[in-house]
Structure 1
Amino acid sequence: MTDASGYDQHNIDYPVSRRGLLKFLAVTGVVSGVGAQSGTAQQEAGEQRWEFTTEGWVNSSPTIVDETVFFGSRDGSTVYAVDTASGSEQWQFPAGDFVTASANVVDGTVYIGCGGGDAEEANNLYALDAADGTEQWRFEADGYFLSAPTVADNRVLVGNSNGSIYCVDTEDGSIIWEVTDQYSRDVNSSPVVLGETVYIAKSEGTVYALEAKSGSEQWSFETGGNPASPTVIDDTLVIGDSEGIVYGINVTEGTEQWQFETGESVRSTPTGADGTVYIGSNDNYLYALDVATGDTHWEVNLGASVNSPTVTNDHVIVSAEDGTVAAVGISNGTERWQATVERIENSSPTVVDGTVFIGTRGVGSGTLQAIATGTTESSVGSRVQLGTLGHHHTWAQTASQTTSEEEAPPDGSNSSDVESNTASQLNEQILTTLGVVVAALASIAYVVTRRLGKSK
Structure 2
Amino acid sequence: MKMITTCISKVKKVSALLLLAAVLPTASAGCAGPAWQGWSGFASYDGMLYLGSMSGEVIALNVLARSEESDFPAEGEWRVTAVKAPIPSGGMCGPMGCAPVAPPVIIYTTPAVTDDLVYVATYAGDDGKVMAINRLAPGYDEEGNPSWKKRGEWVYPQAQNKFIGAVVGSPVVAGDTVYVGSSDGKVYALDAVYGEERWEFDTGGKIWTSPVVKDGVVYVSNYNHKFFALDSVDGSPIWEVELPAAVASSPAIAGGNLVFGTFDNHFYAVSTDNGKTKWTFSGGNWFWATPVVRDNVIYAGCLDGKVYALEAGHGGKLWEFSADSPIISAPVLLNGFLVVASKSGELYILETGSGDSIKTISIGASVMAPLYGEDNMVYVHARNRCVYGVDIQKGEKVWEFCYSEIE
Normalised to the residue count of structure 2, the TM-score between the two structures is 0.74
| CA distance in structure 1 between the partners assigned to 2:220 and 2:129 by the alignment | 20
Q: Which residue of 2 aligns with 1:82?
A: 61
CA distance in 1, matches of 2:59, 2:138: 8
Q: Counterpart of 1:369 in structure 2: which amino acid?
A: Y
Structure-2 residue corresponding to 1:148: 170
Pick from 339, 345, 361 the counterpart of residue 323 of structure 1.
Answer: 345
Structure exhibiting the larger radius of gyration computed from Cα positions: 1
RMSD: 1.9
> 2:154 matched to which residue of 1?
137
Return the match for 2:314 from 289, 293, 311. Answer: 293
Give how far 1:58 is off: 5.9
Choose which of 62, 78, 84 in structure 2 pairs with 1:91: 78
Secondary structure (helix, strand or coil) at the match of 1:179 reads strand
Contact 1:57–1:367 at 8 Å: present in 2 too?
no
User: Gaps (5+ residues) in structure 1?
Assistant: 1-53, 377-456
Pick closer, same or farther for the CA change 1:137–1:257 going to 2, 3 Å.
same
Cα distance between partner residues in 2 of 1:73 and 1:313: 28
Question: What is the CA distance between 1:342 and its match in structure 2?
Answer: 4.2
1:113 partner amino acid? A
Q: What secondary structure, in the 3-state scheme, does the structure 2 residue paired with 1:361 have?
A: coil
Q: Which moved more, 1:217-226 or 1:253-262?
A: 217-226
Q: What secondary structure, in the 3-state scheme, does the structure 2 residue paired with 1:86 have?
A: helix
- Asked whether the equivalents of residues 325 and 338 of structure 1 are also in contact (C-alpha less than 8 Å), the reply is yes
Distance in 1, Cα, partners of 2:36 & 2:330: 21
1:406-421 equivalences in 2 (<5 Å): none
Specify whether residues 150 and 375 from structure 1 end up closer, same or farther in structure 2 by C-alpha distance, changes over 3 A only: farther
Q: Report the alpha carbon displacement of residue 257 of structure 1 after superposing the two structures with TM.
A: 0.7
Cα distance in 2 for partners of 1:218, 1:346 equals: 34
Larger relative contact order, structure 1 or 2 (CA cutoff 8 Å, min sep 6): 1
The CA distance in 2 between the partners of 1:180 and 1:144, in whole Å, is 15
Aligned to 2:228: 208
Asked if 2 retains the 8 angstrom alpha-carbon contact of 1:58 and 1:360, the reply is: no
Question: For 1:329-368, what aligned pairs fall within 5 Å after superposition?
Answer: 329-362=351-384, 366-368=385-387
Task: Identify the structure with the greater strand proportion.
Answer: 2
Quote the Cα distance in structure 1 between the aligned partners of 2:80 and 2:391: 28
What secondary structure does 1:85 align onto?
A: helix
How many pairs align? Answer: 314
Instruction: Give me the identity figure in percent.
Output: 23
Structure 2 portions without partners, runs of 5+: 1-33, 67-71, 85-104, 140-145, 147-152, 158-162, 396-407
- The two structures have a TM-score, normalised by structure 1, of 0.66
Distance 1:58 1:163 in 2: 20
Partner of 1:186: 206
Deviation (angstroms), 1:63: 1.0
> What's the offset of the Cα at 1:375?
7.1
Amino acid at match of 2:387: L
Q: C-alpha deviations, 1:187-216, integer Å up to 9, x for none?
A: 111111111101111122212111100111
Using a 3 Å threshold, how does the CA distance of structure 1 residues 320 and 292 change in structure 2: closer, same or farther? same
> Does the aligned pair in 2 maintain the 1:344–1:359 contact within 8 Å?
no
CA distance in 1, matches of 2:229, 2:359: 39
Q: Aligned AA for 1:370?
A: G
Q: Which moved more, 1:343-352 or 1:158-167?
A: 343-352
Which 4+ stretches in 1 moved above 4 angstroms? 54-58
Partner of 2:353, secondary structure, is coil
TM-fit CA distance, 1:222:
2.3
Alpha-carbon distance in 2 for matches of 1:272, 1:132: 35
Question: How far did residue 56 of structure 1 move?
Answer: 7.1
Q: Please state if 1:66 is matched with 2:46.
A: yes
Q: Which structure is higher in helix share?
A: 1
Q: CA-to-partner distance for each residue in 1:262-320, whole Å, 9 max, x for gaps?
A: 01111111110000000111110100000000000000000211131111241111111
For 1:433-456, what per-residue CA distance to the aligned partner results, in whole angstroms no more than 9, with x for missing partners? xxxxxxxxxxxxxxxxxxxxxxxx
| Counterpart residue number, 2:94 | none
- Distance of 2:377 and 2:154 partners within structure 1: 32
Between the aligned partners of 1:187 and 1:262, the Cα distance in structure 2 is 23
